[in-house]
Structure 1
Amino acid sequence: MIEENPQLKKILDLAGNALETANRKRRQHQAETGYGELVGITTGNDVSQILPQELGRLSDSRQKLSFYRDFLEGQLFQNDLQAPEEKGKGPMVICLDCSGSMKERVSRDLWSKALIVALVKLANEQDRVVSVVRFESVCFEPIEIHPKEDIDQLIRLLVTSPTNGGTEFQAPLERAREIIEQDADYSEADIVFITDGIAPLSSVFLKEYSDSLEKMKTNFFLLEIEPEWGWSNALKDLASQAWVIDVEGNFDELGAVFTAC
């Protein structure tokens, strides 16, 4: 498929670059937040957390071999650290804009699909379930991707995804909410909304939807692909965090996206 479809190759190249940046940002984030809070003593073989008295056994020829044995068996005494709680690390419902305006610029279409592939790949690595809701003027049946499953089906659907229709935000937002409310696997899932930002939403709906996000303990992440000025103000009112992806692809911003999502 890649050999026969240059567009798919470009999508996967962009997704690979996005994941590379994401991994670098995640490592930086982990270094900045530290290992976590000390909650006690446990056993293991994490060299960075082994207690000093255990390391002292290495200087005693009578205890050196037993130290290595305990190391291999994970029986050395070490600090028990509890990692800081992170938001946005549960299931995901990704809403993907497939409207005509997304197709007008090839870069919008490429970036939106590359982000989908990268997010699904990251979620699979972390054993997180994902649903992808494609929409234009109508909302299509969600594509459910379970942890560790092959993403070939997703890539095929992205290559042949519908488009050229108008844009309707309320239907995909409601569909995403239904998935979270009705499927136990998506309890407290986060919504990732990818669009160029062209569609109105009423103030009444925005208030009601914002209240439901709070009730469901759901973050709303907005990814704007080359948006026109002022188009997505309504969605920004819902967003926990929002990012703009420009035509060149802002990889530093992408790193922040994957740290949050």
Structure 2
Amino acid sequence: MFGLIAPALGPLASAAYASLPIGFKALKYFVDDTFRDKVVPVPGSVVYCDLWVAVEHSGIYVDDGQMSNIVVEGFADSAVRLSSAKSFTSKSTMGRKIYVSCDNHGAVGHPQVAAASHACVGERSFYGLVFSNCHEFSEKCVNSITTNDNQLSLVDRIMSLPAGESWERTIRSLKDAAQRKLGASKWRLWDWQNEQQAPPDEPDWQAHTRAYEQLPLDQQTIDFIRTELANLQAYQEEIADESIPDHIHQKLRTLNQTLNDIATTYQQLRGVLSLLPGSSFSYHQLKHCQSDLLSLATHLQHNEPIQSLVRKMGRFYISQQNKRKSRVPKASQSEVHGTHLSDDLMRVLPSELLNLENDTLETLFYARLIEKNLLTYQLAGTDISTIEQLDKSCARTGPIVACLDTSGSMAGSPINKAKALLVAISCMLQREQRALHVILFGDSGQLIEQQIDGAAGIPSLLAFVQQGFGGGTNFEQPLHRACELIRQQKDYRKADILMITDGDCGLSEPFQQTLSEQKQALDCSVYTVLCAGQRTSDGFSDEVLCL
């Protein structure tokens, strides 16, 4: 009963269509119902109605208001039945009017198509969305015309499919067959109810545009966008010679440009987005941070200090201070050195095993085993390996609180490095299910903050760090706020504090003492990251790193 769902559907459907006001079909239906002439089908006309965003139900008009179509009667079970227009559209959520195959003069059909579809009434078959669906049935009936001299080979038929189509029975394939066999170049509405009412309210075109721009971009979404664009372009071509108001043509052109811009922008930034899995950028967000993303790609791919620092911030990074090394002989590279007393049954001498043949001596064997007094081969190892173990108490379980200097001196390359670092850390924290809290600071009294939720929050992270103060620098204020956060939030224990700046952090002696006490009490570490300048010891950081 349903048509083939477009390739863009699947996991995308619940997220994308929840925010999308039906899609292009709603706009098309409004134009067709308001500005285009209505028709009445003739025997052998192809008919269909829109059920949902990318789902249609099709059939063949037989005569006397009856349509031959597949009706689902059970799970994956269907039969060809004659249905009235009311029954045919009973599950439509897009309006009760039915689309009919037409040319420039009106409805088109063919008696052979009507006869072929009527002959199938009563047939039962397996029903599926891809195979044995209503479009396949309708196309089979259309292809029953044998008098049409435009017969294409199988290869030609496949090659004639529009870009993006596959050799599956879709509504697009059915329309192509109707065009070849019936000359159907247009699809107009049949007002079978003869509704005498005011035209429908015009949909909110801007809301549709915003919905497209706010879809999370991935390959599935882009497939959907390209399908919408192809349908829109085909529709514009179909109505180009009709008396449609100019303002409607202009709105369609604007929508065309929007969809094309979305597809083009994604293609241009596809490589960058692949570095940020799960980031879920929308086109609306990409428009405002496109230059940032290009700079980010360079740093994420080629800035080794950033990659090294991200590894250090990982949950199970092993520092030199936390490594515990032990020398272990490798048994795989040993040789017999002699014999000794032990309980090693794998290397026990055959003479000892003979005791198991006698009931009395068997007891003696087990006694020697317990006492570790069995004669066994002694192996001497020649290689020594070193294994490193991480004390679980050293594993990081808390978030990272990043204090980002947004003073005037950070402009340019330093702030670009800082953004790349925060993005890379955000991706790593998502994998480890840890939080990122960002504090932007400048001079005294200049401080704003936001918590970032993993890689999905990267668009909001980039939008947040667009802000800044551009003045002087006060380092004590953000460090005080970071310690306060860790103290107040129970799940912030064992957090790392990142001080990201372009110069030495100047702290007063009293504050350094307070900070040292806070670090010990809260079990947290402070890393100073210099986006410019040389590494220097500051007296309060656990480590100073340069990007």
Fold similarity call, TM over 0.5: yes
Partner of 2:472: 166
CA contact (8 A) 2:534 2:546 kept: no
Out of 464, 467, 473, which is 1:157 matched to?
464
**How many positions carry a matched residue from both structures?**
193
Q: Map 1:34-53; keep pairs closer than 5 Å.
A: none
The verdict on how the C-alpha distance between 1:202 and 1:123 changes in structure 2, with shifts beyond 3 A counting, is same
Greater CA deviation, 174-183 or 82-91?
Answer: 82-91
Amino acid across the alignment from 2:463 = R
TM-score w.r.t. structure 2 length? 0.32
Question: Structure 2 vs 1, CA of residues 3 and 172 (structure 1 numbering), >3 Å: closer, same or farther?
Answer: closer
Partner residue, 2:541: 239
- Superposition pairs of residues 57-136 of structure 1, within 5 angstroms: 84-85=391-392, 86-103=394-411, 106-136=412-442
Match of 1:14 among 270, 274, 299: 299
Structure-to-structure mapping, 1:130-149, within 5 angstroms: 130-137=436-443, 138-147=445-454, 149=456
Residue 87 of structure 1 deviates from its aligned partner by 4.2
Cα deviation, residue 188, structure 1? 2.4
Q: Which amino acid aligns with 1:99?
A: S
Greater C-alpha Rg: 2
Q: Deviations over 1:79-127 (max 9, x none)?
A: xxx8643444531101111100111xx2111111111111111111110
Which is further off, 214-223 or 143-152? 143-152
Query: Displacement, 1:227?
Result: 2.4
Partner Cα separation in structure 2 for residue 24 and residue 200 of structure 1: 27
CA distance in 2, matches of 1:2, 1:115: 21
Taking only aligned residues, the RMSD between alpha carbons, in angstroms, comes to: 3.5
Alignment check: 8 A CA contact 1:12 1:117 kept? no
Residues 207, 214 of structure 1: CA spacing in aligned structure 2 closer, same or farther, 3 A cutoff?
A: same
- For the residue of structure 2 that corresponds to 1:141, the secondary structure is strand
For 1:147 and 1:185, locate their aligned partners in 2 and report how far apart those are by CA, in whole Å.
16
Q: State the Cα distance separating 1:2 from its structure 2 match.
A: 6.3
CA contact (8 A) 1:192 1:221 kept: yes
Aligned sequence identity (%):
26
Alpha-carbon contact 1:2-1:8 (below 8 Å) kept: no
1:183 deviates by: 1.3
Alpha-carbon contact 2:396-2:494 (below 8 Å) kept:
no
The two structures have a TM-score, normalised by structure 1, of 0.62
Deviation of 1:4 (Å)? 6.8
Distance in 2, matches of 1:150 and 1:229, equals 31
Q: Which residue of 2 aligns with 1:62?
A: none
Cα displacement (A) at 1:206: 0.6
Residue 17 (structure 1) shift? 4.2
1:7: how far off?
3.5
Q: Which residue of 2 aligns with 1:252?
A: none
After superposition, give the CA deviation of every residue in 1:192-243 in whole Å (9 maximum; x if it has no partner): 111112553210111111111111101111111112686xx5xx21111111
Residue identity opposite 2:452 in structure 1 = I
1:201 aligns with 2:503: no
The one-character-per-residue Cα deviations of 1:32-69 (angstroms, maximum 9, x if unpaired) are: 979x9xxxxxxxxxxxxxxxxxxxxxxxxxxxxxxxxx
Give 1:153 deviation, angstroms. Answer: 0.6
Superposed displacement of residue 147, structure 1: 4.2
The alpha-carbon distance between structure 1 residues 24 and 4, as it changes in their structure 2 partners (threshold 3 A), is closer
Equivalent residue, structure 1, for 2:481: 175
- Tell me the distance in 2 between the aligned counterparts of 1:222 and 1:204: 19
Runs of 5+ unmatched residues, structure 2: 1-285, 327-388
Counting helix residues as a fraction of each chain, which structure ranks higher?
Answer: 1
